[in-house]
């Protein structure tokens, strides 16, 4: 056995991949950008903080609708690893964090965001089957900027409900004539992970005004640490899916006059996500003839992520909620609300009975890869008619592999709240001295082997959990308990690797996603030179074909001695079930020490099925690590856990323990969807005098939808999956007519007013159409079977896409070249809205008995909702107004109010906001720049956001993330015209994410994010 302390934090080492070698040989890098002479909206890509702000101001001023932008220096100057981190500086943008980095993006409180790349739909590996925007796999160094369209235009290739993000990459003609090259190297380090991670990136390009090429690439490694504490949950960012109440499965022994939440358990984990991210952008541009230009682009992105966690879990082993955890004295706040005639209180501190105390190790490995290719011909011979013909092809793959191992400290042999109910193994596993004392034996030599000879044997000690302070406090580990190692404290047992045994291991809910999208489009503009009102018209058409395959599966072990198969390789899984081989022995009749039959109450000899897995020591097949660095949570002495790195290749690990694995699909979550759209548009651009401009357009989208779902049968023994009994194919078509109007009035040379209206339609997340039924089951002592605990209906192909009407009214004062003050009122009316609801299904338990009905979550058709809001923004460069000491300073501040409402209600009928919407968001950025030094300090804040809505078991109490604010820093020193050194700091005050259940004093869990510091150098050739 090898033991190491938190060894799973150690990086794999910098990889000499082909991409990294190419970067080194080319000495190329991300950030050389040159000025152009064309007016906006053509991108003016220049260097310097002032210039980047100037660029954003000009983009906004000259846009045909409500638009905000970021440019290359915005991306490169701040410590922005992903595009999402840069977009959060824009008014109305809200970003969710995964492992501390920016990931999914919302605009004005809604996740229904469309994404395009250089003006055409973009397929990302993180959003293959979703309608949202998640840029976590995209290196920011490859992009020259991004425009965010908040009011619809008929000319946009794709429309989101709340907006469209158009990502921009560099092209050869963006650069000066001749060769251009630059290179950068960066190392960064986290305050928790304490690992030094490299990033190498670069760019090389050449053009002569008639032809050019460009190659830019980046490779990066990150070890992002996030400590977790609170309600026991195994999802990557935490949740409340397993929480119930003190009346679940029976009346509680105490506090019978009041209901309150009871989590499935309490946990403290050390989490580290290792990310290896590569990106490549290729571009070729050629002037084929006078007025005909060819542009060919290819964008490649690949990311490997290992989300590793290890730590302590105390939970109810799925045996009871009503008799597991009780409110500590003084922690129960009564009479908070009424639900179905029952009084509910809130609780923030518990005492929990020892059903299960364990170490827990888990790895989610994600492999994400996408290719987006585009070829376009642009026609402009200087005449009235200009146009484009374009084809694109995109493919994306995403794979996730999940594995976990539980190291149990409580005996299952004797002396605890959960003993037995099996443990009988064939004679080959019986040595004569490893049987549980006083137990019967099998007629064929089998015995009840000791699975946990050195574990705790005690039923009375209580573990305390108190979340009333800033960080949780655990207590009770100093109590003296009995067990296989004698009488000593719980902490002493936790410190001895011999006290652990493997309670369960599994690899389940693994996923494979494949997406493909092909488009053909042509768009044209005809300009009227003498028209007094209509200045030009845009028209075009587009055909897109999108196909997605989503597969969910688990790995099953096949046990040769019984012919049984099991997803859950656990001490509470037994032979004799339907999928086992009836020609093989499944167990034995029991006899006592004298060889006489053991009889049941009816006088029949007792037959006992074999336990599927033999006893397994925690260090038998892998290294173990001592985990005691759990962040700011206190009271946990530490645990020995399976080194999560052993689970990086979960299939190889399962095979090393149990031999060849069988891949078993989960039909309730697997599906395929085909989505074909044919759209055409016309837009008239108009002007009234010199002061009023605008556009009036309409876009028609004809959609053909094909959904293939799986029909779900009964549950497969020893697993959480069901049998696939056939396919259900649904085909439907619908047509949307989407008008849009944008009007701009230049009241003065510096004051502009805008009015925008548009209707939008966006397809649903494909799981919402394609998913089927999934049933949750756990083992129960009373029936000796897997009992239903609830479930979900993941999809409904008859649901409508999301449709909305958007209204914008804005005022913009351009006080200087790089200074603007703006205010925007907006409203988004959701006409058709899918929301989470519940249905009641009387699903049978594994023994065929129906003990329901049970509540299943399901997507249901809502009647709509609304977002009303206000955006206030000020970009100010003091150099626009004054010289002297303030000339080199500036700021960029904004505030967004986003008030959402819908028909869905929560506790006591309170109207719920939209999921993930923060009502208040603001950014404060201050900057300084002279000829040698630039510095920016940026603070981003968002108010509480709804994460998920609780079901009836929680009296509809919802999970919220509390306020979160983060401070970032960038300082750059231009040593020469070619060389720049910089320091980036991210989350430099080490903020953490706190969640709560409905009430701020009822805390659920925390994610502790680390501060990260980077030191880098950029060189331009």
Contact 343, 293 (CB under 8 A): no
Q: How far is CA 313 from CA 275, 338, 457, 468, 549, in A?
A: 26, 32, 18, 19, 35
Cα–Cα distances in angstroms (integers) from residue 44 to residues 34, 78, 149, 350, 618, in the given order: 8, 19, 18, 59, 60
Is there a contact between 990 and 1010 (Cβ–Cβ < 8 Å)? yes
Write out the DSSP string of 871-887: EEEEEEEGGGT--GGGT
Return the half-sphere exposure (C-beta side, CA atoms, 13 A cut-off) of residue 430: 20
Pairing of strands 325-327, 349-352: antiparallel
Structure tokens at 311: 């730590």
What does the alpha-carbon distance between residue 77 and residue 49 come to, in Å, rounded to a whole number?
8
769 by DSSP, 3-state: which?
Answer: helix
8 Å CB contact between 311 and 368: no
Vertex 343: Cα angle to 340 and 344 (nearest 5)? 100
Bridge partners (DSSP) listed for residue 971: 935, 983
Q: Give the count of beta carbons closer than 10 Å to the beta carbon of residue 383.
A: 10
- How far is Cα 866 from Cα 903, in angstroms, rounded to an integer? 10
The Cα–Cα gap between 81 and 140 comes to 6
Q: Dihedral sign, CA of 560, 562, 565, 566?
A: negative
Check: CB of residue 786 under 8 Å from CB of residue 845. yes
Residue 852 token pair: 């329901």
The pLDDT value given to residue 582: 93
> H-helix or E-strand containing 676?
strand 671-688
CB atoms under 10 Å from CB of 825, counted, come to: 14
Report pLDDT for 81: 63
Tokens 């824009």 correspond to 90
Strand 992-997 to 1003-1009 pairing: antiparallel
d(CA 145, CA 131): 22
Per-residue CA distances from 467 to 25, 633, 814, 881 (Å): 54, 9, 50, 52
β-bridge pairing 163-169 and 113-117: parallel
Q: Which residues contact 497 (CB under 8 A, 6 or more apart)?
A: 1, 3, 618, 619, 624, 640
pLDDT of residue 821: 96
Question: Count of residues for the chain?
Answer: 1021
Distance CA 512, CA 555 (A): 13
Residues 294 and 375 sit within 8 Å (Cβ to Cβ):
yes
Query: Phi then psi for 402, rounded to 5 degrees?
Result: -120, 135
Query: Which H, E and C letters describe 373-387, residue by residue?
Result: EEEEEEECCCCCEEE
- Cα(968)–Cα(97) distance, rounded to whole angstroms? 15
pLDDT tens string 627-653: 999 999 999 999 999 999 999 999 999
- From the CB of residue 194, how many other CB atoms can be counted at a distance below 10 Å? 13
What is the H or E stretch that residue 654 is in? Answer: helix 650-658
- In the Cβ-directed half-sphere of 85, how many Cα atoms lie within 13 Å? 28
pLDDT score, position 522:
97
Q: What residues contact 125, with CB distance under 8 A and at least 6 apart?
A: 137, 301, 303, 368, 369, 370, 396, 397, 398, 513
Q: What is the DSSP string of 58-95?
A: HHHHH-SSSEEEEEHHHHHHTT-SBHHHHHTTSTTEEE
For 448-483, how does the pLDDT look when each residue is reduced to its tens digit (9 = 90+)?
999 999 999 999 999 999 999 999 999 999 999 999
* Residue 64 vs residues 540, 648, 685, 744: alpha-carbon distances, Å: 18, 50, 9, 8
Q: How far apart are CA 78 and CA 588, in angstroms?
A: 68
Q: Could you tell me which of 629, 495, 647, 657 has the C-alpha nearest to residue 3?
A: 495
β-strand pairing of 3-5 with 624-627: parallel
Number of H helices, E strands in the chain: 7, 59
- Cα–Cα separations (whole angstroms), residue 689 to 78, 264, 535, 740, 813: 42, 68, 11, 22, 20
Rounded to the nearest 5°, which phi and psi values hold at 73?
-70, -30
Query: Considering only CA atoms, which of 373, 379, 209 is closest in space to residue 294?
Result: 379
Which two three-digit tokens encode residue 21?
């070698």
Question: Would you give the distance in Å from CA 54 to the centre of its chain?
Answer: 34
What span, in angstroms and rounded, lies between the C-alpha atoms of 11 and 29?
24
Q: Outline where DSSP puts E strands in 290-384.
A: 292-315, 325-327, 332-339, 342-347, 349-352, 356-379
For the chain, residues classed under CATH 2.170.130.10 are 49-173
CA distance 309 to 363: 7
Contact 746, 730 (CB under 8 A): no
Measure CA of the first residue to CA of the last residue in the chain; give whole Å: 53
Q: Which two tokens stand for residue 166?
A: 């158009």
Find, among 546, 539, 613, the residue nearest to 573 by Cα: 613
Q: Give the C-alpha separation, 243 to 231, whole Å.
A: 8
- Judged by DSSP in three states, 400 sits in strand
Q: What is the DSSP string of 713-744?
A: EEEPTTSS-EEEEEEEEEEEEEEEEEEEEEEE
- Cα–Cα distance measured from residue 100 to residue 190, given in angstroms and rounded to the nearest whole number: 11
Locate tokens 């549980």: which residue? Answer: 436
Element (H, E) at 241: none
Relative to beta strand 865-877, strand 854-862 is unpaired
Strands 424-425 and 349-352: unpaired
Q: CATH code for 49-173? A: 2.170.130.10
Quote the CA–CA distance of 708 and 671 in Å, as a whole number.
Answer: 6
Low-confidence ranges of the chain (pLDDT < 50): 1-46, 74-79
């Amino acid at each position: 056995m090898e033991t190491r302390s938190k060894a799973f934090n150690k990086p794999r080492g910098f990889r000499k991949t082909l991409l990294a070698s190419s970067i080194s040989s080319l000495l190329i890098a991300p950030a050389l950008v040159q000025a152009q002479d064309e007016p906006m909206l053509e991108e003016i890509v220049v260097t310097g903080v002032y210039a980047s702000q100037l660029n954003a101001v000009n983009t906004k001023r000259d846009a045909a609708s409500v638009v905000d932008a970021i440019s290359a220096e915005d991306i490169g100057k701040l410590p922005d690893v992903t595009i999402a981190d840069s977009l959060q500086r824009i008014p109305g943008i809200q970003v969710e964090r995964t492992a501390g980095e920016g990931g999914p993006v919302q605009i004005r409180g809604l996740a229904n965001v469309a994404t395009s790349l250089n003006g055409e739909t973009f397929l990302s590996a993180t959003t293959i089957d979703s309608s949202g925007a998640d840029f976590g796999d995209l290196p920011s160094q490859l992009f020259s900027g991004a425009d965010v369209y908040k009011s619809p235009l008929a000319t946009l290739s794709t429309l989101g409900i709340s907006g469209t993000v158009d990502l921009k990459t560099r092209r050869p003609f963006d650069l000066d004539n001749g060769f251009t090259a630059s290179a950068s190297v960066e190392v960064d380090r986290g305050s928790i992970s304490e690992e030094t991670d490299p990033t190498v990136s670069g760019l090389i390009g050449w053009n002569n005004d008639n032809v050019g090429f460009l190659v830019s690439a980046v490779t990066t490694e990150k070890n992002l640490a996030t400590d977790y504490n609170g309600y026991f949950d195994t999802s990557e960012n935490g949740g409340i899916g397993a929480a119930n109440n003190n009346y679940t499965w029976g009346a509680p022994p105490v506090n019978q006059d009041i209901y309150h939440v009871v989590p499935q358990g309490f946990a403290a984990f050390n989490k580290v996500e290792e990310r290896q991210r590569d990106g490549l952008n290729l571009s070729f541009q050629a002037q084929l003839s006078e007025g005909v230009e060819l542009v060919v682009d290819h964008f490649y992105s690949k990311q490997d992520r290992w989300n590793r966690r290890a730590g302590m879990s105390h939970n109810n082993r799925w045996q009871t909620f009503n008799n597991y955890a009780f409110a500590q004295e003084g922690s129960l706040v009564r009479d908070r609300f009424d639900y179905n005639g029952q009084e509910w209180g809130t609780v923030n501190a518990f005492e929990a009975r020892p059903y299960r105390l364990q170490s827990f190790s888990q790895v989610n490995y994600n492999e994400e890869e996408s290719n987006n290719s585009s070829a376009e011909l642009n026609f402009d011979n200087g005449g009235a008619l200009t146009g484009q013909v374009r084809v694109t092809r995109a493919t994306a793959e995403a794979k996730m592999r999940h594995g976990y191992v539980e190291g149990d400290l409580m005996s299952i042999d004797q002396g605890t709240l959960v003993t037995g109910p099996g443990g009988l193994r064939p004679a080959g596993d019986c040595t004569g001295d490893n049987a549980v004392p006083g137990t019967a034996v099998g007629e064929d030599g089998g015995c009840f082997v000791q699975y946990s000879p050195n574990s705790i044997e005690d039923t009375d000690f209580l573990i305390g959990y108190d979340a009333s302070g800033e960080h949780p406090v655990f207590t009770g580990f100093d109590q003296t308990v009995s067990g296989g190692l004698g009488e000593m404290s719980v902490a002493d047992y936790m410190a001895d690797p011999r006290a652990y045994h493997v309670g369960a291991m599994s690899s389940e809910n693994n996923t494979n996603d494949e997406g493909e999208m092909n488009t053909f489009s042509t768009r044209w503009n005809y300009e009227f030179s003498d028209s007094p009102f209509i200045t030009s018209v845009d028209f075009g058409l587009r055909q897109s074909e999108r196909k997605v395959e989503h597969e969910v599966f688990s790995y099953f072990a096949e046990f040769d001695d019984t012919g049984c198969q099991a997803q859950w390789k656990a001490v509470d899984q037994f032979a004799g079930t339907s999928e086992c081989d009836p020609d093989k022995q499944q167990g034995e009749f029991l006899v006592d020490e004298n060889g006489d039959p053991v009889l049941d109450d009816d006088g029949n000899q007792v037959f006992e099925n074999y336990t599927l897995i033999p006893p397994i020591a925690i260090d038998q097949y892998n290294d173990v690590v001592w985990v005691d660095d759990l962040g700011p949570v206190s009271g946990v002495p530490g645990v020995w856990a399976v080194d999560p790195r052993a689970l990086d290749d979960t299939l190889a690990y399962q095979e090393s323990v149990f031999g060849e694995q069988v891949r078993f699909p989960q039909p309730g979550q697997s599906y395929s969807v085909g989505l074909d759209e044919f759209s055409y548009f016309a837009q008239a651009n108009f002007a009234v005098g010199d002061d009023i401009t605008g556009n009036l357009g309409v876009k028609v989208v004809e959609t053909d939808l094909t959904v293939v779902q799986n029909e779900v049968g009964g549950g497969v023994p020893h697993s959480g999956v069901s049998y696939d009994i056939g396919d259900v194919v649904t085909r439907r078509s619908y047509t949307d007519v989407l008008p849009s109007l944008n009007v701009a009035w230049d009241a003065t040379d510096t004051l502009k007013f805008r009015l925008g209206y548009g209707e939008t339609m966006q397809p649903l997340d494909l799981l919402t159409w394609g998913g089927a039924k999934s049933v949750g089951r756990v083992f129960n002592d009373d029936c000796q079977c897997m009992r239903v605990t609830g479930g979900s209906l993941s999809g409904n192909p008859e649901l409508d896409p999301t449709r909305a009407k958007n209204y914008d009214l804005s005022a913009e004062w351009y006080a200087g070249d790089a200074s603007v003050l703006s205010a925007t009122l907006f409203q988004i009316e959701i006409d058709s809205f899918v929301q989470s609801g519940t249905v009641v299904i009387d699903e049978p338990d594994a023994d065929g008995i129906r003990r329901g009905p049970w509540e299943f979550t399901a997507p249901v058709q809502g009647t709509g909702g609304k977002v009303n809001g206000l955006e206030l923004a000020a970009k100010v460069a003091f150099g626009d107004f004054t010289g002297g000491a303030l000339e080199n300073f500036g700021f960029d501040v904004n505030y967004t109010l986003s008030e959402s409402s819908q028909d869905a209600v929560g506790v006591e009928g309170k109207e719920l906001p939209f999921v993930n919407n923060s009502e208040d968001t603001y950014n404060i950025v201050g900057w300084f720049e002279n000829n040698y030094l630039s510095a920016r300090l940026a603070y981003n804040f968002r108010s509480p956001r709804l994460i998920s809505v609780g079901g009836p078991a929680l009296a509809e109490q919802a999970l919220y993330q509390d306020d979160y604010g983060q401070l970032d820093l960038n300082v750059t020193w231009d040593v020469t015209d070619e060389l720049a050194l910089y320091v980036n700091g991210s989350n430099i005050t080490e903020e953490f994410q706190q969640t709560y259940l409905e009430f701020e004093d009822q805390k659920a869990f925390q994610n502790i994010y680390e501060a990260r510091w980077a030191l880098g150098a950029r060189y331009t050739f």
